[in-house]
Structure 1
Amino acid sequence: MTTYRARFDAAVTFTNGGGLQVQGFFVDVPSADATAATVGDLFLDSLGLLMAGDVALTNLEIVEAPHKGTRGGPSADGTPSSGRPQYVELNHVIREGMITLPNLPGPELSKHLTREASRGVYAPGTEFEIGRISMVANTGTYLDSPFHRYPDGHDLTGYPLDRLVDVPAIVVRLDDSGRLGIDAKALTPYDVQGKAVLLQTGDDARFDTPQYVENAHFLTRDGAELLIRKGAALVGIDAANIDDMTDGSRPAHTLLLGAGIPIVEHLTSLAQLPPAGATFTATPPRVEDFGTFPVRAFARLP
């Protein structure tokens, strides 16, 4: 579904005196033909301004862009339901030789039993294939459990399904933020209580290339602390690592997994989701003594 945002300069006068001026402000709008009056109302709603009087807009432009969940806007509470659920794949396909991270080997796919060999085992006209895969656990899109970081943390068998299936999702769009570190200030406006917080950086466009790990986005220590404090249920990112890979202490992994919050790395296609209203699912197989494993991550749209 095509969505639009308005970009404008504005001057607001207040009924009790004083004023406010902004330049290059954005709000989500319901359609490409949104009027200046509609944009002005959305602007005031987005800031929660009290005792606002006249609003004068200049340089108004409606642009095609994903909604970011402007408060009071058309996607603030998700998109209205339209019958049968729709699903969006948010995982990378695992392929022979693909490179998730340059310091890790790619998966090797082979045949344990070929169709030709199986014909000597089964009745005439009946054949099967049994595949074999050798890969590190950190391949493609994967989920981290506490055991990935802590020897006494629970492994992949420790998360109940309600922690990983149909979790209400919030998409935090950061691809045009101009900053690599995702800090508490960037996350403060969002209601993350009980939500899967999905950090959309746009880095997934470089997945399986050497550039994927260059200038990669990451969650800062204070960003992780805020998400824990505000009760996030899960944190996902479409970048090479949820941590700054130059920081060997790995604060985001350390804090989130220490709080029992699952992490999903190497997501993709988050731009296809609304800012709110979708649900997120990412389930690995229940492997004992493993802290990480690939998942089929997907969203159910409202």
Structure 2
Amino acid sequence: MTDHRASFDARITFGNGGDLAVHGFRVDLPGPDASDDEIAALFVASLGLLMTDGVELDNVEIFAEPHKGTRGGPSDRAAQAAPSAGGALVELTRPPGGGTCLVAPGGGLTGLPLARTAELPAVVVRVAGAGVREVGVGAVAAFDVRGRAVLLHTGAPGGGRLTPEAAAWLAGRGASLVGTDADGLDGPEGVAGSAALDVLLAAGVPVVERLAGLDRLPPTGAVFTAAPPRSEGAGRVPVRAFARVPEA
């Protein structure tokens, strides 16, 4: 099913005084026929605005685009339900030889709990098609990442380098795992020292590289698994990654 979003200009007035104007704001929609009132309600919910008195929309455009996880939107509501044993399984491993792998903290798998890699609620951070070369704090800050697998959908093997600052933000807020469909978190240049991979591993956060199929996952609500084999002495190992997507 095709996702839809809306772009619009808006002016909000508040019951306790003041107003707010935005231009080109975007929200996820439940469908292509959403009314202006529905879009206005999604806009207010997405920002968590209180004491809203009125919303005026202008230049509304509705178009097909994957959901980004607007707070209070259709994908967010689906994610509020507890993960279910039902739903379709989605393959997230690249074809044989593609190299999907897990990088374990501490240089080995011995101390990596299974709970850090299996049946994790997932959030998908989409930057694919946006021309973004770096994924910074602003791209991940809207998500509740505690106890979750944070999956970066960059859309390109060499795209979407995670900044060290964003890696520190994710680790500091309790992300269980970070994954990417790129060849690595630090981009083709392989930045060393304070690179994102180093930051996450130092904080005990495992990383999964070279994922596939993230475009088939909703922004929130899927359950992610990339459990490594039971072995010792290996810091980077092949995995079969997959996700269970809740039924609509």
With the length of structure 1 as denominator, give the TM-score of the two structures.
0.75
Match of 2:213 in 1: 269
- Give me the whole-angstrom Cα distance separating, in 1, the residues matched to 2:174 and 2:86: 31
- Give me the whole-angstrom Cα distance separating, in 2, the residues matched to 1:284 and 1:83: 21
Match of 1:145 in 2: 104
- The counterpart of 2:127, out of the listed 174, 178, 199, is 174
Q: CA deviation at 1:94?
A: 1.2
Work out whether residues 196 and 233 of structure 1, in 8 Å CA contact, stay in contact via their aligned partners in 2.
yes
Q: CA deviation at 1:83?
A: 8.4
Match of 2:176 in 1: 233
Match of 1:108 in 2: none
Match of 1:76 in 2: 76
Match of 1:156 in 2: 109
Q: CA deviation at 1:251?
A: 1.7
The code of the aligned residue for 1:272 comes to R
* Cα-Cα RMSD: 2.0
The number of residue pairs the alignment matches comes to 243
- Give me the whole-angstrom Cα distance separating, in 2, the residues matched to 1:289 and 1:174: 34
Q: CA deviation at 1:287?
A: 3.0
Q: CA deviation at 1:82?
A: 9.1
- Give me the whole-angstrom Cα distance separating, in 1, the residues matched to 2:72 and 2:192: 41
Q: CA deviation at 1:15?
A: 2.6
Match of 1:165 in 2: 118
Q: CA deviation at 1:240?
A: 1.9
- Give me the whole-angstrom Cα distance separating, in 2, the residues matched to 1:248 and 1:6: 40
Match of 1:279 in 2: 223
Match of 2:166 in 1: 223
SS at match of 1:199: strand
The reply on whether 1:91 has 2:44 as its aligned counterpart is no
Work out whether residues 5 and 64 of structure 1, in 8 Å CA contact, stay in contact via their aligned partners in 2.
yes
Matches within 5 A, 1:11-22: 11-22=11-22
Q: CA deviation at 1:284?
A: 2.2
- Give me the whole-angstrom Cα distance separating, in 2, the residues matched to 1:77 and 1:170: 13
Work out whether residues 239 and 265 of structure 1, in 8 Å CA contact, stay in contact via their aligned partners in 2.
yes
- Percent identical among aligned pairs is 49
Question: Which one has a bigger Cα radius of gyration?
Answer: 1
Q: Any stretches of 5+ residues in structure 2 without a counterpart?
A: none
Q: Any stretches of 5+ residues in structure 1 without a counterpart?
A: 101-139, 147-152, 204-211
- Give me the whole-angstrom Cα distance separating, in 2, the residues matched to 1:33 and 1:82: 29
SS at match of 1:300: strand
Name the CA shift for 1:259/1:198 in 2 (closer, same or farther; >3 Å).
same
Q: CA deviation at 1:64?
A: 1.5
